[in-house]
Structure 1
Amino acid sequence: MKDFTEGSVSKLILNFSIPMLIGNVFQSLYSIIDSVIVGQYLGTKALAAVGASYPIIFFIIALVIGIGGGGSIVIAQYFGAKQYDKVKKASDTINLFLLGSGLVIAVAGLFLSRPILRLIQLPDELLDDATLFLQIYLAGMVLAFGFNGVISILRGVGDSKTPLYFLIISTIGNIVLDILFIGYFGWGIAGAAIATILAQAIAFAMAIVYLNKYHKIIGYRFKGWSFDREIFRQCIRIGLPSGIQQTFVALGMTALMGIVNSFGTNVIAAYSTASRIDSLAMMPAMNFSVALSTFVGQNIAVKKMERIRKGLISTLWLSMGLTLAVTVVILIFGKDMMRMFTDNQEVIGIGAQYLTVVAMFYWVFTAMFTINGLLRGAGATMVPMLTTLVSLWAVRVPAAYILAKWIGVSGIWLSIPIGWAVGLVGAYAYYRTGKWKNKTVFDSKGRGNAAEAMMGEMEV
């Protein structure tokens, strides 16, 4: 556990971010490794089928993940205020919510996978494989949510190193199981989904053992867990806007996938594959943003506003530096990265074009995500939600549709940085107002202030 209210700002944020960044890079390798092995062993059609499933997965789990993220911020604020009894109650509440949600999603996935894939006009030649992959993947949501719940709780109390070790082990396990199930057992596309589920099960089991041995406050013992309604309301107040935001982001990604689907299997394979590389390239910004949220969550509980300002500046410098390095790598080696997934030259060319267009604007995404990280840590999650929805649904999706009609598939790629730019302007404008300073769940004496905070959100 780490206290962010004292000590060097840059050092604390960097030390917290780097293990988390490495861990999330390994976590992202789940989808990348699936795509590489599927593409090399099973071909372009299977690669497109797996890739088309990921926006659907994101859509189905987005709301739950958002509320779980709200729980992490609540835990960070209670921990910063040194209210350890509330930390325990919050961790129990989040665990119960995530496990229950995982069961619901697992059942719903059996019935909704094919209808959703039909809704986004996935070509018939990909439908059976994509449905099978999606159903198996969603069946493992209980394990995935349980594991991610443990990670969120540990990060909320300032521990980003421990999750890294679990993520590394689970990723290595995923690689081995992918090769075993697809390459040797010949289980096809189902093998990729089963490998991911088993790898997450291993990581989850190890995380439970660790918590029970070393963390009395947030131990993972089913007996004695309690669901605190007031804390859950705080998690919803903070997390629901982010969950709604992520849900609409996922819907936007699904809508974009629908536009991409109209261009055929090779474009689907190229887009979904390049998106895997794209998501890895965005990891520095996303992880520094999470670190800043935890930092702000602890410091705003004790009203250290100048320290928060320094945290924002330090995070911008750190994340921008990594983002520029990643941009250079993508621009130089983007086509070579595409070759890892497939030998299809058309797919490689289309994917490389996507990466070239989007990579030039990673810095816009980084600035937007960093400012939103501060706002979320302060509890002002409604604003990132609103700016994201406007930039996505009022700008990006319409721009993708119109530009695709005018200039072809490259118009879809151009719509992405256009949406980021609008989101950045909205986030920065609200940050400048200073209203986010009053969104914490505590008052100046560290007491619970959920009712006042909710009223503040209603004023946004």
Structure 2
Amino acid sequence: MEKNGKKSLFSIEITTGSLWKNILLFSLPLMMTQVLEVLFNLSDVAIAGKFADYLALGAVGSTTLLVSLFTGLLIGIGSGVNVVVARGLGLGSHEDVEKTIHTSLLICSGIGIVVCLVCLLLAKPMLLLLNTKEELLPGAVGYLRIYALGMPAMAVYNFGNGVLSAAGDTKRPLLYLSIAGVVNVALNLFFVIQCHMAALGVAIASAIAQWLSALLIMRHLMSQKDACRVHLKKLCIDKAAAKRVLMIGIPSGLQNAIFAVANLFVQIGVNSFDSVMVSGSSAAANADTLIFNMMSAFYTGCATFVSRNWGAGKTDRILKSYRIVLLYSFLVGSICGGLLLLFGDKFLGLFANEADVIAAGMQRLKIMGFSFGVSALMDASIAASRGIGRSIIPTIIVIMGSCVFRVIWVYTVFAYFGTIPSLFLLYIFSWAITGIAEWAYFRHSYKKYILHGQIW
């Protein structure tokens, strides 16, 4: 981002310079941010389990699906902000950028407040719907309600992250998240160990950390001297800007939420095995979260670079950005998958002590290790399509190919064979099928853009 006419050390050139270098420099801080976020979330669970009791651990774990649903929605809206602001910056239209930013801040804040109210009012019914165990229900309800108080702040942080990323600045979000994350861990230890607040203490620490990260990012945006500055007096809803942001953000958020629901059916399949396999699979699932978050940094880069260069009229850099991101994300997924094949038992040892649980977890890792890289085609193509303003059709494709397909697989292929491979192979097949369809759609949309100019 620029300030006072000088290029900031925090910003990355998006429409000029080497794409290989700049996409990597843009994505690495994002990757570190994603990894830190995963580690801080794991610290919540670890501290609850280590220093409280199994009921606190179970209460926090019982809310995972709902937290994933709502945070996925907020992250999706933030991605809409990123794409629309990036295109405005590429066009050099400061007026459009200002309208988008001030409209988006109101939209994100409003959605964050609505999500907060839903969790406050419906926490118990939603947890009962998920068959939360009776002894865990009081702690889970309390945790979700307090955690929800940080949802508006999370929405604001994702708004700010979207704006800064669009401007080429991925280092400040990393810095702010690092500060908030350290505070989160410290408060976790204080509330759980010193105050004996168990799950409620973990939730309070998380909410405070969310507000801290939001305040830090807003403080920076309000001090800017360029089009990305936030002026509280300019806050208003511009219908055209709102439509563009929501057309990208809502499908993206729904996709994140629906993935969480689809994986419920996979968990049903896992739960049909004994407790050792269930525990091993749960431990191995931590690898999924870590690797996918690392790969997703490149997808944010893809949407940003594609959108900025689209706005700047540099069509040759659109396809090249997509192909570079596809290669980078494939390599990260494949290399990390390979490392898990070699050292998976050591990784699982971080979460389990029993040899039979580790052996069970390796059954999942041996399949997933070969699968992670395949997902790059799907996610990179979705990001590229969103970068040129196409979000609804890619979302429909991914819902059919990676969500509906998985449910059908569980009740047909897995129901017939009933083995671990027949369950977890659904991932590589669903990613391959969806990836081909998403690639074909992006290719079609890109050609349509070249032939007809503007498709937004």
TM-score range, shorter chain: 0.7 to 0.9
**Does the 8 A contact of 2:80 with 2:246 survive in 1?**
yes
Partner of 1:99: 109
> Would you say the 8 A contact 2:47–2:188 is kept in 1?
yes
- Count of residues paired in the alignment: 444
Q: 1:166 aligns with which of 151, 176, 179?
A: 176
Residue 158 of structure 1: SS of its match in structure 2? coil
* Offset at residue 157 of structure 1 (A): 1.6
Q: Deviations over 1:246-304 (max 9, x none)?
A: 23223223444455566687766554543333111122321111101100001112332
Which amino acid in structure 1 is aligned with residue 51 of structure 2? Y
Contact 2:77 / 2:108 at 8 angstroms: preserved in 1?
A: no
Query: Whole-Å Cα distance in 1 between the matches of residues 257 and 229 of structure 2?
Result: 30
* Cα gap change, 1:408 to 1:122, in 2 (>3 Å): farther
Q: Say which of 360, 363, 371 aligns to 1:353.
A: 363
Tell me, what secondary structure is at the counterpart of 2:28? helix
Matched residues in 1 for 2:108 and 2:376: separation?
29
State the alpha-carbon separation in 2 of the partners of residues 133 and 220 from structure 1.
33
Residue 391 of structure 1: CA displacement? 1.6
* 1:330–1:355 Cα contact (<8 Å) kept: yes
Matches of 1:183 and 1:49 in 2, distance apart? 17
CA distance in 2, matches of 1:97, 1:153: 14
Indicate yes or no: 2:101 matched with 1:109: no
CA shift in 2, pair 1:115/1:54, >3 Å: same
1:145 equivalenced with 2:145 (yes/no): no
Structure 1 residue 416 and structure 2 residue 427: aligned? yes
Aligned counterpart, 1:456: none
Q: d(CA) in 1 for partners of 2:138 and 2:357? A: 22
1:4 match: secondary structure = coil
1:377-392 equivalences in 2 (<5 Å): 377-392=387-402
1:305 aligns with 2:312: no
More displaced, 291-300 or 201-210?
201-210
Cα distance change, pair 95–242 in 1 and its aligned pair in 2 (3 A): same
**Deviation of the 1:343 alpha carbon:** 4.1
Whole-Å separation in 2 of the counterparts to 1:196 and 1:187: 13
Q: Is the 1:137–1:197 Cα contact (8 Å) retained in structure 2?
A: yes
Shift of 1:437: 4.7
Kept in 2, the 8 Å contact 1:29–1:171? The answer is: no
Alpha-carbon distance in 2 for matches of 1:263, 1:39: 24
Alignment of 1:48-447 (within 5 A): 48-257=58-267, 260=270, 270-343=280-353, 347-402=357-412, 405=415, 406-407=417-418, 411-432=422-443, 434-438=444-448, 444=453
Q: Which amino acid aligns with 2:287?
A: I
> Displacement, 1:349?
4.4
Q: Distance in 1 between matches of 2:86 and 2:294?
A: 21
- Are the aligned partners of 2:98 and 2:228 in contact in 1 as well (CA < 8 Å)? yes
CA deviation after TM superposition for structure 1 residue 67, in Å: 3.1
Q: Which amino acid aligns with 1:379?
A: G
CA distance in 1, matches of 2:133, 2:359: 21
Residues 421-440 of structure 1 show CA distances to partners (whole Å, capped at 9, x for unaligned) of 221121122234x3235469
Amino acid at match of 1:77: R
Shift of 1:46: 4.3
How far off is 1:215 after superposition? 4.3
Unaligned runs of 5+ in 1: 454-460
Q: 1:241 offset after TM fit, Å? A: 2.5
Question: What is the TM-score of this pair, normalised by structure 2?
Answer: 0.88
Partners of 2:78 and 2:155 within 8 A in 1: no
Cα shift readout 1:133-162 (whole Å, capped 9, x = no counterpart): 222222210111111111111111221111
8 Å Cα contact 1:289/1:373 also seen in 2:
yes
TM-score when scaled to structure 1? Answer: 0.87
Separation in 2 of the partners of 1:349 and 1:129? 32
Contact 1:378 1:437 in 2 (8 A): no
Stretch of structure 1 that moved more, 14-23 or 208-217: 208-217
Structure 1 residues 190 and 339, CA gap change in structure 2 (3 angstroms):
farther
Distance in 2, matches of 1:315 and 1:20, equals 14
Of 3, 8, 32 in structure 1, the residue corresponding to residue 42 of structure 2 is 32
Separation (CA, whole Å) in 2 of partners of 1:262 and 1:412: 11
Structure 2: tracts of 5 or more residues without a match: 2-11
- Note if contact 1:20-1:287 (Cα within 8 Å) is conserved in structure 2: yes
Contact 1:273–1:351 (CA under 8 A) maintained in structure 2: yes
CA distance in 1, matches of 2:166, 2:126: 34
> CA 1:111 to 1:423, structure 2 compared with 1: closer, same or farther past 3 Å?
same
Gap change, CA 1:10 and 1:301, over 3 Å in 2: same
For residues 202-227 of structure 1, the C-alpha deviation after alignment (integer angstroms, 9 at most, x for no partner) is 22222222222334433344333122
Residues in 2 aligned to 1:153 and 1:101: alpha-carbon distance in whole angstroms: 17
Alpha-carbon distance change, 212 to 37 in structure 1, aligned in 2, over 3 angstroms: same
Q: RMSD of the TM alignment (CA)? A: 2.7
Closer/same/farther in 2, CA of residues 256 and 122 from structure 1, 3 Å limit: farther
Answer whether contact 2:334 2:373 (CA < 8 A) is retained.
Answer: yes
Q: Distance in 2 between matches of 1:384 and 1:48?
A: 36
Q: Do 2:192 and 2:198's aligned partners in 1 also have CA atoms closer than 8 Å?
A: yes
Q: Which moved more, 1:175-184 or 1:251-260?
A: 251-260
Instruction: Please name the residue that 1:457 is paired with.
Output: none
Counterpart amino acid of residue 305 in structure 2: F
The separation in 1 between residues aligned to 2:423 and 2:115, in whole angstroms, is: 30
| Partner amino acid, structure 1, of 2:442 | Y
Partner Cα distance (2:220, 2:398) in 1: 37
TM-superposed deviation, 1:198: 1.4
With 179-188 and 85-94 compared, the bigger mean Cα shift is at 179-188
